[in-house]
Amino acid sequence: MAAYRAALEEQTRERVPLAWAMTQTNLGSAFVRLGARESGTVRLEEAVAAYRAALEEYTRERVPLDWATTQNNLGSALWRLGERDPNAGANYLQEARDSFQHAWAVYQDAGMSQYDSYFQQQLDNIETLILSQSDERAER
């Protein structure tokens, strides 16, 4: 983490916006890895914040595949948050679904159909989890 934070001080958004965005994405991925080992949500929330920061520079118009990859990463982090937070889980899962759909659209536009089954599986899994959590809330 310290290395990424140091890189962000050196590679500022103002000087090198795309390098800054890449570092934010890498920081987000590191937070996801840490968050996977912990039971809480703090690291995953930090990952989401880092990915969202990266998306401020990684726009669909400017760098569509980087944007799509970061949307995919954001979707994965939101999915994990949705699994862990029973109160806000549905919101996280809906955001995850949106992120995966946005990413998939770019891959489809780029003719990268080899990712279709991956994204379809992600979306199916999220829908299943949304329904499961909805059923659990209804039972309470």
Mean pLDDT on 123-136? 88
pLDDT tens digits for 103-128? 999 999 999 999 999 999 999 999 99
92-126: burial string, b at 16+ Cβ within 10 Å, e else: bbebbbebbebbbebbeeeeeeebeeebeebbeeb
pTM equals 0.93
What domains appear along the chain, each with residue ranges and CATH number? Answer: 2-139 (1.25.40.10)
Helix (H) or strand (E) holding 59: none
Mean pLDDT on 1-25? 93
Return the structure tokens found at 65.
């595949």
Q: How far is CA 109 from the centre of its chain?
A: 20
Q: What is the mean pLDDT of the chain?
A: 93
Residue 140's pLDDT band (cuts 50, 70, 90)? low
Quote the pLDDT of residue 102: 98
Please give the full DSSP string across 104-115, using - where no structure is assigned. HHHHHHTT-GGG
Mean pLDDT on 6-29? 95
Quote the pLDDT of residue 107: 98
